[in-house]
Structure 1
Amino acid sequence: MTKLKVGWHREHFLSPLLQFAEQDQGETFELVECPGGTGEMQVKLKNGEIDLCIALTDALIAGLANGQTSYKLVGRYIASPLRWAIITGKESKYNTIDDLKGTTFGISRLGSGSQVMASVLSLNEGWTEDEQPKFKVNGQFKPLRDSVNSGETSVFLWEWFTTKPYVDSGEVRFIGSVYTPWPCWHIAASPTSSSSQISKFLASLQPYVQKFNSPESREKDDVDFVTSYFGHQREDVVEWLKSVKWEEELAEVKEEVVKDTLRVLAKAGVVKVEAEELDIGVFVNTDVARVV
């Protein structure tokens, strides 16, 4: 049987996957890094370059609601919301969220989490049609940082703790944050990949997730791993761990989460209102995941 190709983004949330990969040594799966985040993973799924990915809930569900058929949800991963930082250039003229009305936001890809959450931000702020953000696709994290410093874009949205080292160094500034109104990470896989192989992968990953999520590991081992692998400051890792919770059962998808996410995405104009009525089978591969 061919090895699974697993897409991932260089974020500390994926630490249990990295620990699993260290033990697996490429025997059953190989990691394919996707610096462009969820949007890049969606493209790679469509092109057959990866079989499975752990990615942002909102972008995955939005893609499915908007007609993508190159993947379905096969599990859940993070139970807590994601804190998205609102990031601007070190010398930009933007200092508050109110300053951002009608400006151009940098995004990684069309349909990415960075675009979806910009729309959610505008919904939360009650911006009018004239005040809605425009979007400029910049691709990966580095070009996004460059774009706010050159003035090409006003801000971009990215995960808070991934961005914090660049704020600490003075490269960019935070001017706020916005939380997802849904559990922030799910697992998706190509429907053409082996369901039994995916199920086996999820069952093998689950103990690593459970161990990382345990109170005992959070005390020291988790902090040591994230600090060593990602180079974050220990105090930042400790603060992050207080805010994040992993799912204990991976091969499940909550129908309520899918429906609630669709409702918010429809209000934000990311998906059509009719998407709320789509059958759960559009979103979940029930050969792998149990709908709860």
Structure 2
Amino acid sequence: MPLRVGYVREHFCSPLLQYEAEDKGKTFTLVECPSASCAALTDPLIAGIAKGSQAYKLVGSYVNSPLKWAVITGHNSPYEQISDLQGTTLGISRYGSGSHTMAYVMALQQGWATDQLKFGVNDDIRGLLDSVNDGSTSAFMWEWFTTKPFADANECRFIGAVPTPWPSWLIAAHPERASLAELKTFLSSLTLYVREFQKPEARAGPSVEFIKKTFGYPEEDVKAWLQTVEYTRDCTEIHSEVLSRTLSVLQQAGAVTLQDGEKIDPSEFVNRNVATLIIPEDEKHSATP
């Protein structure tokens, strides 16, 4: 049976969609998952494992550049800048989601007390847009280019942006539902499509056209996004500093709690039978007894 690969239908998945179009279901099929996926945001994946989830392990990398989160409010709301949001109820899709985690990151940047944040859960982008326009929440956070068409249509307003302090996308898999050989083949092939997608000559033409045709975004928005995004050079590798950096910020935000002196074992997060864990030399030496 081919691999079943979860994904969110967004422009970030363009290389994956190109791979699927040529594969034609021979080695994998895509399953649309609006709230979670195999290719998913870094922080919810790492936070889930840190909190004890056994449902998946990290098996690869996808996008190395930060994710640009727009801070979004209602079209006629009274909020004009991020500082106006202090003490208000922020919209999130669900607890533990990227919109939830990034609200803490924003609060840390603003110097707000994170234990005083208030949230309204609104499930999806439509629920979040409705909430900021009916006043039940003040603002929410979502990827900039995904939500820009709503701002262009006057359904909402952007009042700021907060980039993630970590690479934005990793790849995870259930530890038993997919064979190691199938995962390795999938990741190695995906690497080729990722490399082709982000070549300068592709960014200048074919990649722009693919996103315009697939997602209907204006050409100027596509070109602006392509100037900011950086995919991994090897989907089969995971760098240990991504884990440590993300966990450090998640701890500061109160999204993950570690005991004093507790050290993170990368093998708890990464399926090293599939992915290659890249550990800097100084970390290797410090880990030596």
**How does the TM-score come out when normalised to structure 1?**
0.92
2:58 aligned partner, one-letter code: L
2:156 aligned partner, one-letter code: V
The reply to whether residue 289 of structure 1 matches residue 272 of structure 2 is no
**Correspondence for 1:114 among 84, 99, 103:** 99
**Correspondence for 2:40 among 30, 51, 55:** 55
Judge conservation of contact 1:103–1:153 (CA < 8 Å) in 2: yes
Judge conservation of contact 1:72–1:283 (CA < 8 Å) in 2: yes
The aligned residue for residue 30 of structure 2 is: 31
CA separation in 1, counterparts of 2:111 and 2:149?
A: 31
CA separation in 1, counterparts of 2:114 and 2:190?
A: 44
CA separation in 1, counterparts of 2:236 and 2:73?
A: 38
CA separation in 1, counterparts of 2:20 and 2:121?
A: 32
**Correspondence for 2:199 among 206, 209, 214:** 214
The aligned residue for residue 120 of structure 2 is: 136
The aligned residue for residue 188 of structure 2 is: 203
Equivalent positions of 1:10-29 (< 5 A) are 10-29=9-28
Mark the CA change 1:95 to 1:269 in structure 2 (over 3 Å): closer, same or farther: same
Mark the CA change 1:138 to 1:67 in structure 2 (over 3 Å): closer, same or farther: same
Using the TM superposition, give the Cα deviation of residue 129 of structure 1 relative to its aligned residue in structure 2, in angstroms: 4.9
The reply to whether residue 173 of structure 1 matches residue 141 of structure 2 is no
Using the TM superposition, give the Cα deviation of residue 85 of structure 1 relative to its aligned residue in structure 2, in angstroms: 0.3
Q: Deviations over 1:192-215 (max 9, x none)?
A: 121211111111111110000111
Unaligned ranges ≥5, structure 2: 279-289
SS of residue paired to 1:273: coil
| Higher deviation after alignment, 55-64 or 276-285 | 276-285
The aligned residue for residue 279 of structure 1 is: 265
Judge conservation of contact 1:35–1:141 (CA < 8 Å) in 2: no
Larger Rg: 2
1:8 aligned partner, one-letter code: Y
Judge conservation of contact 2:43–2:98 (CA < 8 Å) in 1: yes
Using the TM superposition, give the Cα deviation of residue 114 of structure 1 relative to its aligned residue in structure 2, in angstroms: 0.6
Question: How many percent of aligned residue pairs carry the same amino acid?
Answer: 53
CA separation in 2, counterparts of 1:252 and 1:229?
A: 28
SS of residue paired to 1:115: helix
Judge conservation of contact 2:104–2:114 (CA < 8 Å) in 1: no
SS of residue paired to 1:277: coil
CA separation in 2, counterparts of 1:133 and 1:100?
A: 10
The aligned residue for residue 160 of structure 1 is: 144
**How does the TM-score come out when normalised to structure 2?**
0.93
Mark the CA change 1:129 to 1:234 in structure 2 (over 3 Å): closer, same or farther: closer
Using the TM superposition, give the Cα deviation of residue 128 of structure 1 relative to its aligned residue in structure 2, in angstroms: 2.3
| Higher deviation after alignment, 2-11 or 161-170 | 2-11
**Correspondence for 2:135 among 111, 126, 151:** 151
Judge conservation of contact 2:108–2:114 (CA < 8 Å) in 1: no
Mark the CA change 1:153 to 1:226 in structure 2 (over 3 Å): closer, same or farther: same
1:160 aligned partner, one-letter code: W
CA separation in 1, counterparts of 2:259 and 2:173?
A: 24
1:149 aligned partner, one-letter code: N
Aligned length: 276
